[in-house]
C-alpha cells in the first residue's frame, strides 16, 4: 500500500515555481524522507541521478575537482556511465547527505547554473547544520519533515478529506460531533497514539490490522536512535546525551514533567550536560517546551531558556519506551489516563509541532497557576490545557479572568469531551488538535 504524505503536495508546488532553489529535506530517521522524494522524482523527471552517500561512499569523490556543476557531472559520468544529464528534465537526488555534508557547498553552483533540479535528504541526527548553513545560505530551501501527523494517519486508514473538512466545520460552528463521529475518531486516535507516525510501522499496522510487531519495530527504532547518538554526537559526552534521551519517560512521569538533571544521576550538575538537550532537539528526536517568564506576547521573546519540558517527537515511541506492565495496560485496555497525563500531553505537543508551532508552557513560582501550552493568533495569547481526566480548569479560568493578563482573550481545552464553548474557552476532543491552526486562522477572521 502507498501512504499519502503532505510533503507530496509541497514537492509538486516546489517544482512548479519558476525560480525554485535546491531543496533540503531534513528530519529524524525513518520518517519517510527517501521514499517520498524518490516517488516524486520518479513521477516528475525523465532522468533521476540518485546518490546515497551512506550506501555508495565512492560517490564522495565527485567533489574532488571542485563544486562547479560541470566538474561534478564529469566525475559522476566516470563513476556511472549510464547517467544521463538532460537539462530541465533531470533531478539530482543526494540522499543521506549527512555522510557527505560538502554536498551543501555545491548547491550555490547548481542554483546559478539553473539547468538541473537538486533535492538533498538526510537524517538531522548526522547533519552539522551550522556548516551547511554557512556553505549554502541564500541558495537553498529547507523542508522540515516530521513523522505522520494524525491527518495523514486518517488518510492512510481510508478517511476522505471531505470527512475531515466536516469535522473542521463543526469546530468552527461550535457544533457537537455525533456519537458515531466521537466513537470512530476516538478509536482511530487511540490507535494513532499507540502506533505513532513512523510510516513503516503505520504500514505494518494497517496491513495486518493488528498491533502485532508494532512494539518490536518501535523498540528497534529506539535502539537505532541510541546507536546514532553514539555515532553522531560529536563534541559531546555521548553517554550523557543517551542518558538524557533515555530518561525522558522519567521526566514526564513526574507531576511537573519538568526536565531535571537530578533525575538522571545522583550528583549530576547542569554544567555537565550543556548542549545535550539542544543536540537532541537539533536531531529532530525531541520536542522542547519552554516555560514563559511572563504571560504576554511575544512568545519567542519571553521564555526562560533553562526551564523546560522535553517530549518525544513521536508518541508511539514514548509508549514503546515504557515498561511491560504499562505496555499491556495501554495496548490491551487503552488506558491512557495513567502515567500522570504524560501521554496526552506528549501527543498534543507533537500535534502542535507538526502544525508549525513552537512549544511554551507556564508555571508560576508557587505553582498555583499552570498552563500546559500557549499559542497565539493575530491579536492574542491563547492558553491551552490538556486534561487526561475531566477535572477542574482553575488555571485556565484564572488567566482568562485576570485583567493583568491583557493579551489573553480566550482559551482552549483538549479533553475526552465533545465540542463546546462556555464563554471563556473552547473545549475540543483530543483528536481535533491537528486542526487547531486552521481553526484559529478562520476563527480570527470570523471574529
What whole-number distance in Å separates Cα of residue 376 and Cα of residue 396?
15
Cβ contact 27:35 at 8 Å: no
Residue 424: is its pLDDT beyond 70?
yes
Residue 32: is its pLDDT beyond 70?
yes
Retrieve residue 247's grid coordinates: 530518561
Q: What is the mean predicted confidence (pLDDT) over 333-358? A: 86
What whole-number distance in Å separates Cα of residue 76 and Cα of residue 110?
15
Query: What DSSP line would sit under 358-424, residue for residue?
Result: -EEEEE-TTSS-EESEEEE-SS-EEEEEE-SS----HHHHHHHH-TT-TTB--EEEEESS-SEE-SS
For all residues of the chain together, what is the average pLDDT? 91
Strands (E), 252-293: 286-292
- Residue 234's pLDDT band, with cuts at 50, 70 and 90, is confident
Global confidence as pTM: 0.93
At 47 the pLDDT is 96
What whole-number distance in Å separates Cα of residue 367 and Cα of residue 133?
41
**What digits encode the pLDDT tens for the residues 67-96?**
999 999 999 999 999 999 999 999 999 999
Cα dihedral sign, 156-158-164-170:
negative
At 133 the pLDDT is 47
Cβ contact 429:419 at 8 Å: yes
Residue 265: is its pLDDT beyond 60?
yes
Strands 141-144 and 47-52: unpaired
Torsion angle, alpha carbons of 196, 31, 200, 433, to 10: 30
What whole-number distance in Å separates Cα of residue 215 and Cα of residue 220?
8
What whole-number distance in Å separates Cα of residue 361 and Cα of residue 214?
32
At 8 the pLDDT is 97
Q: What is the mean predicted confidence (pLDDT) over 278-290? A: 93
At 336 the pLDDT is 67
Residue 129: is its pLDDT beyond 60?
no
At 337 the pLDDT is 63
Retrieve residue 380's grid coordinates: 492574542
Retrieve residue 80's grid coordinates: 556511472
Cβ contact 149:192 at 8 Å: no
Q: Is 209 left (phi over 0), alpha (psi -120 to 50) or beta?
A: left
Cβ contact 151:159 at 8 Å: no
How far apart are the two ends of the chain, measured CA to CA in Å?
43
Strands (E), 124-257: 141-144
Tell me which residue of 236, 203, 231 sits closest to 96, measured CA to CA.
231
**What digits encode the pLDDT tens for the residues 359-392?**
999 999 888 899 999 999 888 999 999 987 766 6
Measured CA distances, 142 to 20, 25, 35, 120, 406 (Å): 11, 6, 17, 10, 36
**Which H or E element spans position 265?**
none
At 266 the pLDDT is 85
Retrieve residue 444's grid coordinates: 480570527
Cβ contact 125:228 at 8 Å: yes
What whole-number distance in Å separates Cα of residue 169 and Cα of residue 374?
23
What whole-number distance in Å separates Cα of residue 306 and Cα of residue 263?
16
Measured CA distances, 344 to 65, 117, 312 (Å): 53, 42, 12
Residue with cell 547527505: 97
**What digits encode the pLDDT tens for the residues 100-116?**
878 888 999 999 999 99
Strands (E), 237-350: 286-292, 303-312
What whole-number distance in Å separates Cα of residue 188 and Cα of residue 408?
33
Lowest mean pLDDT among 130-139, 250-259, 294-303: 130-139
Q: What percent of the chain has pLDDT over 70?
A: 94
What whole-number distance in Å separates Cα of residue 346 and Cα of residue 288?
11
Cβ contact 322:391 at 8 Å: no
Strand-pair partners of 308: 290
Residue 132: is its pLDDT beyond 70?
no
- Residue 328's pLDDT band, with cuts at 50, 70 and 90, is confident
Residue 127: is its pLDDT beyond 70?
no
What whole-number distance in Å separates Cα of residue 433 and Cα of residue 355?
10
Q: What is the mean predicted confidence (pLDDT) over 158-175? A: 97
At 123 the pLDDT is 82
Retrieve residue 258's grid coordinates: 519538568
- Residue 212's pLDDT band, with cuts at 50, 70 and 90, is confident
Amino acid at each position: 500500500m502507498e501512504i499519502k504524505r503532505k510533503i507530496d503536495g509541497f514537492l509538486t508546488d516546489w517544482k512548479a515555481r519558476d525560480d525554485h532553489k535546491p531543496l533540503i529535506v531534513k528530519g529524524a530517521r525513518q520518517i519517510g524522507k527517501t521514499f517520498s522524494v524518490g516517488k516524486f522524482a520518479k513521477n516528475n523527471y525523465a532522468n533521476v541521478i540518485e546518490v546515497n552517500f551512506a550506501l555508495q561512499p565512492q560517490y564522495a569523490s565527485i567533489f574532488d575537482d571542485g563544486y562547479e556543476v560541470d566538474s561534478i557531472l564529469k566525475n559522476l559520468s566516470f563513476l556511472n556511465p549510464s547517467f544521463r544529464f538532460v537539462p530541465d528534465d533531470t533531478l539530482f537526488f543526494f540522499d543521506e547527505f549527512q555522510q557527505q555534508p560538502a554536498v551543501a557547498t555545491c548547491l550555490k553552483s547548481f542554483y546559478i547554473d539553473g539547468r538541473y533540479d537538486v533535492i538533498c535528504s538526510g537524517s538531522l541526527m548526522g547533519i552539522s547544520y551550522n556548516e551547511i548553513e554557512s556553505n549554502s545560505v541564500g541558495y537553498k530551501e529547507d523542508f522540515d519533515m516530521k513523522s505522520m501527523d494524525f491527518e495523514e494517519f486518517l488518510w492512510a486508514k481510508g478517511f476522505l478529506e471531505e470527512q475531515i473538512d466536516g469535522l473542521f466545520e463543526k469546530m468552527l460552528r461550535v457544533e457537537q460531533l455525533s456519537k458515531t463521529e466521537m466513537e470512530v475518531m476516538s478509536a482511530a486516535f487511540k490507535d494513532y497514539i499507540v502506533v505513532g507516525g513512523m510510516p513503516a510501522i503505520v504500514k505494518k499496522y494497517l496491513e495486518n490490522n493488528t498491533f502485532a510487531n508494532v512494539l518490536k519495530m518501535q523498540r528497534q527504532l529506539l535502539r537505532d536512535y541510541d546507536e546514532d547518538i553514539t555515532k553522531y554526537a560529536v563534541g559531546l559526552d555521548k553517554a550523557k546525551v543517551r542518558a538524557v534521551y533515555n530518561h525522558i519517560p522519567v521526566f514526564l512521569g513526574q507531576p511537573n514533567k519538568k526536565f531535571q538533571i537530578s533525575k538522571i544521576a545522583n550528583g549530576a550538575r547542569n554544567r555537565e550536560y550543556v548542549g545535550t538537550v539542544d543536540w537532541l532537539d537539533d536531531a529532530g528526536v525531541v520536542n522542547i517546551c519552554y516555560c514563559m517568564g511572563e504571560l504576554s506576547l511575544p512568545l519567542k521573546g519571553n521564555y526562560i531558556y533553562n526551564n523546560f519540558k522535553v517530549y518525544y517527537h513521536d508518541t508511539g515511541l514514548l509508549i514503546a519506551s515504557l515498561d511491560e506492565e504499562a505496555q499491556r495496560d495501554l495496548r490491551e485496555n487503552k488506558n491512557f489516563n495513567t502515567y500522570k497525563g504524560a501521554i496526552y500531553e506528549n501527543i498534543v505537543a507533537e500535534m502542535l509541532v507538526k502544525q508549525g508551532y513552537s512549544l511554551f508552557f507556564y508555571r508560576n513560582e508557587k505553582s498555583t497557576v499552570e498552563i500546559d501550552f500557549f499559542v497565539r493568533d493575530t491579536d492574542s495569547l491563547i492558553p491551552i490545557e490538556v486534561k487526561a481526566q475531566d477535572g477542574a480548569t482553575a488555571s485556565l479560568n484564572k488567566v482568562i479572568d485576570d485583567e493583568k493578563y491583557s493579551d489573553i482573550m480566550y482559551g482552549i481545552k483538549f479533553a475526552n469531551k465533545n465540542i463546546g464553548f462556555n464563554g471563556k474557552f473552547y473545549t475540543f476532543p483530543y483528536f481535533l488538535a491537528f486542526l487547531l491552526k486552521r481553526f484559529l486562522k478562520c476563527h480570527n477572521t470570523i471574529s
